[in-house]
Amino acid sequence: MKYTPVIGLEVHVELNTKSKMFCACANDWFGTNPNSRTCPVCLGLPGALPVPNKKAIEGCIKIGMALGCSIPLLSKFDRKNYFYPDLAKGYQISQYDQPFTQNGSLTLSTGKKITIQRAHMEEDTGKLLHETIEGRKVSLIDFNRSGVPLVEIVTGPDFESAEEVREYLQRLQQIVRYLGVADGDMEKGGMRLEPNISLRKDGQTGLPNYKVEVKNINSISFVEKAIAYEIKRQAEILDRGETPAQETRGWDEDKKMTISQRSKEEAADYRYFPEPDIPPFVWTEKYVENLRSELPELPEAKMARFMKAYGLSDYNAEILTRTTDVANYFEETVKVGHEHGIEATKIANTIVNKKIDIERILPAALIKDLKAAEVTDTLPLDELHTVLKSILDKNLTVVSDYKNGKVNALMFLVGQAMRGLKGKVKADTVKSELEKLLK
Ligand SMILES: [Zn+2]
């Protein structure tokens, strides 16, 4: 028998706010000493009261806006009750029937629309560590991640292939990074993926009468493998005339298979009720529109602009807008190139075709590569420092990005400096002096 896959996705994105969702603890849980980022609120101690993080809520709303969601003027938090050792309170604060954002869509390159049912706000759980201490197997709990702001983005059951899922996930990751609200770093658990998969028989209308969810996958290629595995496994069960069990499974990368974990819960099992410690939220139209005006140029718009403004092919424009770092690098180079009479399309081709490692190359070095004039250092060091310091003062966000480990941010500063210096100093010198000032 022939089947069509019916796939939906839930994606959890950790926001990169300074503090956690409901307390003032630092949000930088990854790689920190266990239980060093905790307080009575995120430890779930009796009597501790949650205070919602405004930045996090705005981050959630911006993700929803970028996905074309509507922003209801009334929303609230709810308690999702379940027991697990890493959930100190015995419930998770989440959103049930009145999420911050709902009813959006994301259009794939084929023109197919994936519906976004909602992007809502919740809190992350702690982490269990399974260790052996003095020969005994023990489970330890680290609550540093407990209460980290998490946005859950839920699609309709609209995907029919792993390829569609891959494109959606790449685009979603790109969007949260463009917005600057999340790192989307899957290796650090910053973006966790949960496909639900079932098969529709040819000729069948409506959704299949079962659904298999694969939990907590931390890589796009594992999602693709899990989907391929499930399509094969479920087809075999259906071919025997049986129905696959409604359940939650996990992806085992060593065994290259999904493994049954538990039967799937229904919403009623969680006994949701409105969170009594946090009053509902009532936004004004003006507040929502102000937030909307803070949205940066998003990937799709930037790509269209690059094609129109610089005459780029869609192929080049797509590659050059994958990250804002690359896009900024290209645009900075175009500005410098313009002063040397070098066309934007030529610069785009050079970056794309030569597969230039843009993490390492500098705009001025590229211009040199394009046979622009050689520059020699003709500016005294103290004067150079004055120029560089003023550039750092004007670009505080970029500076803090750099200090937070975004190495590419340096390129942007070098580009700014090279423009200001008009060829009086070599890019290598600018780079090394900037590095000294940023230490
Ligand atoms: Zn805390």
Q: How many A from CA of 265 to the centre of ligand 1?
A: 29
What does the pLDDT read at residue 184?
94
| Least confident piece of the model among 148-157, 350-359, 417-426 | 350-359
Ligand 1 center to residue 26 CA distance, Å? Answer: 8
CA-to-CA distance for 187 and 168, rounded, in angstroms? Answer: 18
Other beta carbons within 10 angstroms of residue 74's beta carbon come to: 9
> Among the listed ranges 64-78, 266-280, 300-314, which one has the minimum average pLDDT value?
266-280
pLDDT(362) > 60: no
* pTM given for the model: 0.81
The answer to which of 15-19, 186-190, 413-417 has the lowest mean pLDDT is 413-417
CA–centroid distance, residue 148 to ligand 1 (Å): 9
Does 356 have pLDDT greater than 70?
A: no
For residue 325, the model assigns a pLDDT of: 83
CA of 50 to the centre of ligand 1 (A): 9
Residue 80 CA to ligand 1 centre (angstroms): 19
Least reliable range by pLDDT among 62-76, 167-181, 254-268, 352-366: 352-366
Distance 33 CA to ligand 1 centre (A): 15
Q: Name the residue with higher pLDDT: 50 or 430.
A: 50
- Report CA(36)–ligand 1 centroid distance (Å): 10
With beta carbons less than 8 A apart as the criterion, state whether 320 and 347 touch. no
The predicted structure's pLDDT at residue 418: 78
Name which of 164-168, 237-241, 245-249, 361-365 the model is least confident about: 361-365
Residue with more model confidence, 120 or 322: 120
| pLDDT (average), residues 328-355 | 86
What is the Å distance from ligand 1's center to 132 Cα?
Answer: 28
What pLDDT score does 265 carry? 66
Residue 371 has what pLDDT? 42
Measured in angstroms, how far is the CA atom of residue 39 from the centroid of ligand 1?
Answer: 4
What does pLDDT average to over the chain?
Answer: 90
Distance from Cα 249 to the centre of ligand 1, integer Å: 31
Q: From ligand 1's centre to the CA of 190, what distance in Å?
A: 19
pLDDT recorded at residue 380: 78
